[in-house]
Amino acid sequence: MLDEITRDIAEVPAVEIITTAAVHLMSAAAVQCGLAEDQKADLDEARKLINALAGLITAAAPEIGDHHARPLRDGLRSLQLAFREASVIQDEPGKGPGEKYTGPVS
């Protein structure tokens, strides 16, 4: 059974694994930003998820290429802006979630 699982994972291209992980982080961050219906925002959790997402995208972009990285960056930027909108206390420019990797988002 373990050999079968390992073989299946070995057949999945790295770009697919990276983008799948990024999409999971994006989805969780969106929920924590309060973007899901009937879901209260937890901005502490959202910050952690957005930071992890920004680090993953920044590190992976040269490996997966612009074609795959561009939509991930767009989603990240949308989450960063949603976080800023949901936050009562505004972070200084460049200090928001993920901005140490992406630079200031406006």
pLDDT tens column, 76-92: 999 999 999 999 999 99
Q: Looking at the predicted structure, is the pLDDT value of residue 62 above 70? A: yes
- CA nearest to 72, candidates 50, 100, 93, 97: 50
Residues 36 and 46: their CA atoms lie apart, in Å, by: 13
pLDDT score at 5: 67
Residues 76 and 6: their CA atoms lie apart, in Å, by: 31
Residues 94 and 100: their CA atoms lie apart, in Å, by: 6
Q: Looking at the predicted structure, is the pLDDT value of residue 6 above 80? A: no
Model confidence, pTM = 0.90
Cβ 32 vs Cβ 42: under 8 Å: yes
pLDDT score at 38: 86
- Each residue of 14-29: pLDDT tens digit? 999 999 999 999 999 9
